[in-house]
Amino acid sequence: MTLNRNQLLDLAEQYSTPLYVYDGDKILDRYRGLYNFIPYPKLKIHFAMKANYNFEILKMLYAAGASLDTVSPAEVLLAMKAGFTKDRIIYTANNMTESDVEAVHDLGVLMNIGELTRLEKYGEKYPGSEVCIRFNPDVRDGEDIKLMTAGDMAKFGILLDQVEIVKTIVAKYNLKVIGLHEHTGSGLQNTESVFKSMKNLMAIATPENFPELRFLDFGGGFKVPYRPDEPSVDYAKMGAQITELFMDFCENYGRELEMYFEPGKYIVAESGYLLARVNTLKNNHGHLIAGTDSGFPQLIRPVLYNAYHHVQNLSNPNGPLKIYDIVGNICETGDYLAERRELPEIHEGDLLSVENAGAYCYSMGGVYNLRPMPAEVLIQNGKTRLARRRLSNQELIDNIIKESP
C-alpha cells in the first residue's frame, strides 16, 4: 500500500464511499520507469487507455509526453479532448464497423488492422494510405484464459502464415505499411513469451515483406503483482533483453525503427484503490459474509476472470483474523469482490480498501441495478482533487429518461 491508511480513511470521509482513489505520482513513475527499463532511444509508450480513461489521468499522461492506444472512436475523441494529437494515437480496434473506420480515418489517426477482410475493405476505400497491421504472434500467455489474445483460439490479429496474402492486398491497393503490431495477452506470466512474440513478429518484418516500416509495436501485457507475496518481474533485466533483441533486428532490417509498447495495466493498476464500506455482516452457521456498498458492476475483474484483488480492513488493521466473503450490494449471487479471504475482524461501518484497482476496474464499470459509478479522486504532488464526480441517483435516471425517444 503506497497511500497510507489514514489518507484513505480521510478520503472516504471527505468524498464518501464507494470511492476510487488513484495515486497520480505512481502512475507517472510507472510511465517514466518504462523508459528506464527499456533503454532504446526510439521507444514510444502508448498507454492503453481502455485500462483507465479517467480524463484527469489522460491529461496528466499527455503532459508527461505519453501516446495512446485506443480501441473505439469515442476513445479517440476523448483522447483528442485531453490534448493528444493524431500522431500520438494509434487505433487498434477489432471487428470495426464502416462508420468506426470512417470516423477514425477522418481524424487522421493511424489504423492498426488485424483482419484480412478489413484490410481489403480499407485498401479499397483508402488506396495509398498508411497503415499498421496487427499479427497474431502465436504465443499463448496471460493472467487468465480470457486475457490471452493470441494463438488459434484468439479473434485478434492476422495469422503469421498469412503474410503473403497481406502482401497481395497491400500491393493491390498500394497501401503503405509503416508499422507491424502484436499483442500477446494481459498480465504475461513468462518474460519468455514477450521475447518469443517479438521474435515471431520480427521474423516477418523483413525489408522484402515490408520495406517502408517505421515502427514495430509489441503491444502491452506487462504483469504487475496482485498478490502480496507475488514476486515482481525483473523489468530492468527484461528491458535490457528487449533492447538487445530489437537492436539486432534493426541491424538486420537495415534501419533503426521505432519500438512501441502499449501497456495499460503496468502503468495504472497499482495506483488505484476502491474504497468500500461494510454495511451488513452475516454469519451463516460460521460462514462470514461482509456486505459492502460497492459491487461487481463497479469492479468486475474478480467475477469476470477470477482476478485476485488484495483487500485490507483499514478500520481495524490489527483485529483477529477471520475468513470472509466480501460481497457487493447487487442482486446477483455471484456479486463478490473477494472470496474466502482472511482479514482482520470486520465490523459494520468498517472501511475496506480493494487494491490494485487502477486498471480495468472503473473503466469496465457499469450501472447495473441503477447504482451510479463511484467518484474518482486523483492525488498528485501531495494534492488531492476530485477527478470525476459520482452522479446522483436523480442524474442517473434523468440520463436514462433523456435517452428514451
Ligand X SMILES: Cc1ncc(COP(=O)(O)O)c(C=O)c1O
Please state the closest distance from residue 157 (CB atom) to ligand X, in A: 9
Residue 226 in contact with ligand X, rule: CB under 6 A: no
Binding mask 78-117 vs ligand X (x if CB under 6 A, - otherwise)? --------------x-------------------------
Active site residue 132: no
Among 266, 273, 324, 336, binds ligand X (CB under 6 A): 266
Residue 220 in contact with ligand X, rule: CB under 6 A: yes
**Nearer Cβ to ligand X (222/362):** 222
Give burial (CB, 10 Å; 0-12/13-18/19+) of 222.
buried
283 and 119 Cβ atoms separated by less than 8 Å = no
**Nearer Cβ to ligand X (143/335):** 143
At residue 351, the 3 state secondary structure works out as: strand
Instruction: Candidates 171-179, 261-269, 293-301, 331-339: pick the segment binding ligand X (CB under 6 A).
Output: 261-269
Instruction: Candidates 226-234, 260-268, 312-320, 368-376: pick the segment binding ligand X (CB under 6 A).
Output: 260-268
Among 122, 222, 226, 260, binds ligand X (CB under 6 A): 222
Among 219, 239, 272, 302, binds ligand X (CB under 6 A): 219
Residue 239 in contact with ligand X, rule: CB under 6 A: no
DSSP codes of every residue in 167-221: HHHHHHTT-EEEEEE---BSS-S-HHHHHHHHHHHHHH--TTT-TT--EEE----
Please give the C-alpha separations between residue 188 and each of 3, 33, 240, in angstroms, as whole numbers.
Answer: 26, 18, 17
Residue 263 in contact with ligand X, rule: CB under 6 A: yes
Choice among 132, 250, 331, 361 that is catalytic: 331
142 and 209 Cβ atoms separated by less than 8 Å = no
Among 21, 51, 90, 259, binds ligand X (CB under 6 A): 51
# binding residues, ligand X (CB under 6 A):
18
Residue 149 in contact with ligand X, rule: CB under 6 A: yes
- The phi-psi region of residue 256 (left if phi > 0; otherwise alpha if psi is between -120 and 50; otherwise beta) is beta
Instruction: Candidates 5-13, 182-190, 309-317, 369-377: pick the segment binding ligand X (CB under 6 A).
Output: 182-190
Please state the closest distance from residue 267 (CB atom) to ligand X, in A: 8
DSSP codes of every residue in 106-175: HTTPEEEE--HHHHHHHHHHSTT-EEEEEEE------SSGGGB--STT--SSEEGGGHHHHHHHHHHTT-
Phi first, then psi: what are they for 103, rounded to 5°?
Answer: -60, -45
Residue 69 in contact with ligand X, rule: CB under 6 A: yes
Residue with cell 488493521: 317
Binding mask 332-361 vs ligand X (x if CB under 6 A, - otherwise)? ---------------------------x--
DSSP codes of every residue in 234-283: -HHHHHHHHHHHHHHHHHHHTS--EEEE--SHHHHGGGEEEEEEEEEEEE
Cα–Cα distance, 283 to 303 (Å, whole number): 22
Residue 301 in contact with ligand X, rule: CB under 6 A: no
Residues 6+ positions from 18 with CB-CB distance below 8 Å: 274, 275, 276, 277, 292, 293, 294, 298, 374
Which residue's CB atom is positioned nearest to ligand X? Answer: 220
Residues 21-50 that bind ligand X (CB under 6 A): 48
Instruction: Candidates 258-266, 329-337, 379-387, 395-403: pick the segment binding ligand X (CB under 6 A).
Output: 258-266
- Chain contacts with ligand X (rule: CB under 6 A): 48, 51, 69, 92, 149, 183, 186-187, 219-222, 262-266, 359
Active site residues per annotation:
331
